[in-house]
Chains A and B, each alone.
Chain A
Amino acid sequence: MNPLEMEMGMPGGFHCGSCDRSKDDVFVLPDGSVVCGDCVDLWERDRGKQN
C-alpha cells in the first residue's frame, strides 16, 4: 500500500489482539500477546479464577 494513502483515515496505535481495536494504551502479556486496558482486566479476572 502506498504510504501516502495510509496517512488518511488509518488509526495510529496498537492493535489489541483480543478485541481487534486500535488502542494507544496496551499491555504486553508474558506470552508476547498485546491486549488493551479493557481486555487486560478480563485477563486478570481469568487469572484470578485459575488461581
Chain B
Amino acid sequence: MLGEFETVEIAGERLVRVRLFDSRYGVANLHGRRWPFCVFDEVTTEAVALRLSFDLWRDVAPCWMGRVQKRVKLSPVEALMQECGAPMTRDEYIFWNSLGKNTKLAPEEEAGLPPRFQERSNGDSTDEDPT
C-alpha cells in the first residue's frame, strides 16, 4: 500500500487526510515516477470536472487505491515500454525475466505469470479494468 486515507474534522469541516508511507525508499516513487501525486491529481481533477461533492469524492478514494495497486504491478521495464507506447508482449516479458534467455516455461512458471501474459486457449483478455 502506498498510503492511507482518513477523515478528520477540522474547524467543523470534514477533511481527508492523506499520508504517504516512506517515500524515501521508492515506495512512493515507484518506477521512477511520482505515482501517488499523478494519480491523486488525476482523481482530484476528475472530481472537480464532474462537480462531485466532497462526500462523493471520498467514496472515490477506495477506487483510487485500487487503481494505484493495480498499476504498480508493472515491472520498471514494462512501465517504461508502456510509457513509450509500446506495451510489452508475453515473449518480451519472459525474455526480460529470464535474464535474456529464451526459455520454455514449466506449467508452474506459466501459472506464476501475470494474467495478461498467461497463454489462453480462447484468446480473451482478462486484464480489462472493470472501472
| A residues whose Cβ falls under 8 Å from a Cβ of B | 3-8, 10-15, 24-30, 32, 34, 40, 43-44, 47-48, 51
**A12, B28: Cβ atoms closer than 8 Å:** yes
**B18, A28: Cβ atoms closer than 8 Å:** yes
| Sample (24) of A-B pairs whose CB atoms are under 8 Å apart | A3-B31, A10-B29, A10-B34, A11-B23, A12-B20, A12-B26, A12-B28, A12-B34, A13-B20, A13-B28, A13-B36, A14-B20, A24-B19, A24-B21, A24-B28, A25-B17, A27-B18, A28-B18, A32-B44, A34-B18, A34-B44, A43-B10, A51-B11, A51-B12
Give the complex CA separation of A40 and B11 in angstroms: 10
Q: What total count of A-B pairs have CB within 8 Å?
A: 92
Main SS at interface, chain B? mixed
**B34, A29: Cβ atoms closer than 8 Å:** no
Give the complex CA separation of A40 and B15 in angstroms: 10
| B residues whose Cβ falls under 8 Å from a Cβ of A | 8, 10-21, 23-24, 26-29, 31-34, 36-37, 40, 44, 47-48, 54, 57, 79-80, 83
**B29, A7: Cβ atoms closer than 8 Å:** yes
Q: Quick one: closest B residue to A29, CB to CB?
A: B15
Chain B residues, Cβ within 8 Å of A51: 11-12
Assuming the contacts A32-B48, A48-B11, asked whether A3 and B16 have C-beta atoms less than 8 A apart, the reply is no
